[in-house]
Amino acid sequence: ITIFGAICAYLTLSPKVRAPKWIAFRALVFVLLGLSAIIPVIHGVFLYGLTTVNIRIAFVPWLLTEGLMYILGASIYAARFPESSYPGKLDIWGSSHQIFHVLVDLGAAAHFVALVHSAPASERALNQYPEAVIGLNVCEANITYTHPGQNDTIKTSIWLPLNWNGRMMGIGGGGWMTGYYFALPWPASKGYAAVMTDGGHGLSDTKSWELKSPGNVDWALLNDFASITLDDAATLAKAATAAFYGERPKFSYFNGCSTGGRQGYMMAQRYPGQYDGILATAPGINWDRMILGLVHPQVVMNQKKIYPPLCEIDTFSAAAISACDELDGVKDGFILDPSSCTFDPMTVVGQKFNCSSTGISGILSVDGATIVSAAWSSVRTEDGRLLNGRPLSYGPNRGAPLLGIADTICSSSDNSSTTSCTGNPLSIAVEWIKYYLAKDETFDFSQIKRRQYDTLFRQSINQYSSIIGTSDADLTDFKESGGKLLTWHGLDDQLLSLDNTVEYWERVKEQDPEIDGYYRLFAAPGVLHCAGGSGWFPGNAMDSLVDWVERKVAPDHLKARTVGGEKERRVELCRWPAKLVFLGGDADVAESYACK
């Protein structure tokens, strides 16, 4: 776009190319300039989807401006105005083709400015409603360092906005990523000094950093990922703000979901003085147990040698929603209180299913119902025992998608109508087993027997609970430092069950009945893992946390609304253990619900 724009600028200003022999060349260059505007738009749509690109990058106003410039210029050129009204007086400057050139250049400038402003916003913010990031002016400090003797190299990025609001925000990661670089623009645009760390392994494939050699875990990098670099990042960010602004942040916040949620809890447990407020959603706490629970349905599949197609699994989930959706008095596509749903998948065995998207059809089977039941169940040992009175891990609620934990890959041969399926376990859990438990990258997950699965649980707990378990229920130091921990968790989370978070909340409450003074939990009906779903997403939770920390206004509710549906619905989420109840009336307004 820049190259074509520069050529067009030259063609506009140079009399040498006004000769008739250059007309075709001029036309080609200007046409290419116009068409080049489509390239980044198509790229963005393929990467993020039309809705995301439109809402978050806000490219439509810029494209409309650009299009208006082109259309206006072409119209003036076609009408030969103004020279048609003033013959012989506007042959060089002020003629229609000169005006057309100028307007095309302005259109190119509009597109170029749009790209510059929208580039950081092409990624998503954490725990926030979709919002375009505009007017971003920051100094970026990139710090590379090592812990002597550990043979690690950590990279930390700190964005220091010119419109600093006196606050700092740490950004969490997801999966094996210690931090999300793409999540820095949103807090920086709001005036926060924002920081993320790569944890010492960047975005590299897990097998390149988890084992130093076969059988030998890289303990330094695991500790970096689990906790140490999170503490480092906060310390470095505070030092950077002091150097850049002349003062340290007045308030420091952490923002993360999933792995980022676990990181927030780790900061509260192990580094209680680093952050004044922590927004940690759908947290991957009890990591040493939770991570193995993610493959429970796959272990059952391998044990029983049954692999239902995902289409069949989805049909069972849809049947659960159909059976329980209206228990609250509203039919809205999700279950308000999944704990009230006792749907048994065996009751629909024998019914037909047909998935047009995959071309797979058939009869709901006992095998399929068996896997769905396993997915929904909490995990116990092979002989049905609990661990210290609690399940080994928890399954998602009825109504949540099972794509992540009960996925299969199916294929059929050209000369057969029979579909053959195999399990498709979640990669992060398989990698945990392969590299940290078996310590062998050639380990075959599909060969795990049920009793061995129990052994892996014990091994994971014994070897890694103190490193990455993030399950310490004693938050005394966090409480005494004045910290506030705010968590919400989607009831339709397809990966990490709310029950996992509730277990931790209950253990904290057992130790300290005054938990509400520093730790509050909210359930979000209909919301998937971190975001998405048909339910109410609390995209302003960070504002509630700031009010709690700085104004001592503790949140009893979190305002939430649906995102992306045909109509917007609003509620105020309830502080756990209260649950949202429909009172009657308009199901789209918050006044029709109460917390009980």
Separation of alpha carbons 178 and 491, rounded Å: 25
Contact criterion met (CB below 8 Å) for 502 and 522: no
Q: Please check whether residue 457 is in contact with residue 289, taking contact to mean a CB–CB distance below 8 angstroms.
A: yes
- 580 close to 282: Cβ distance less than 8 angstroms: no
Extract the tokens encoding 485. 């921990």
Cα 468 from Cα 476, distance rounded (Å): 20
Convert 416-442 into a string of H (helix), E (strand) and C (coil).
Answer: CCCEEEEECCCHHHHHHHHHHHCCCCC
Q: Within 10 A of 293 (CB to CB), how many other CB atoms are there?
A: 23
Percent helix, strand and coil across the chain, each to the nearest 5: 45, 15, 40
* 8 Å CB contact between 335 and 326: no
Enter the tokens of residue 411: 């294929």
- C-alpha 315/C-alpha 348 separation (Å) is 10
Buried/exposed 134-156: b ≥16 CB within 10 Å, e otherwise: eebebeebebeeebeebebebbb
Measure the CA–CA gap between 518 and 512, rounded to whole angstroms. Answer: 11
CB neighbours (10 Å) of residue 326? 13
Contact 274, 231 (CB under 8 A): yes
- Return the closest-CA partner of residue 155 out of 222, 207, 202: 202
In contact, 307 and 424? CB cutoff 8 Å: no
Residues carrying an active site annotation: 258, 493, 529
Distance between CA atoms of 500 and 389, rounded to whole angstroms?
14
- C-beta atoms surrounding 387 within 10 Å: 16
Q: Is 244 helix (H, G, I), strand (E, B) or coil?
A: helix
**Per the structure block, which two tokens stand in for 470?**
């993030």
How far, in Å, CA of 320 to CA of 401, rounded?
Answer: 11
Token pair 């760390």 is at which residue? Answer: 197
User: Could you give the CA distance from residue 530 to residue 110 in angstroms, rounded to a whole number?
Assistant: 35
Bond before 577 cis per omega within 30 degrees: yes
Query: How big is the CA angle at 172 (ends 379 and 337), to the nearest 5 degrees?
Result: 45
Comparing C-alpha atoms, which of 345, 209, 226 is closest to residue 291? 226
- When computed from its CA atoms, the radius of gyration of the chain, rounded to whole angstroms, is 28
Length of the chain: 596
Neighbours of 20 (CB within 10 A): 6
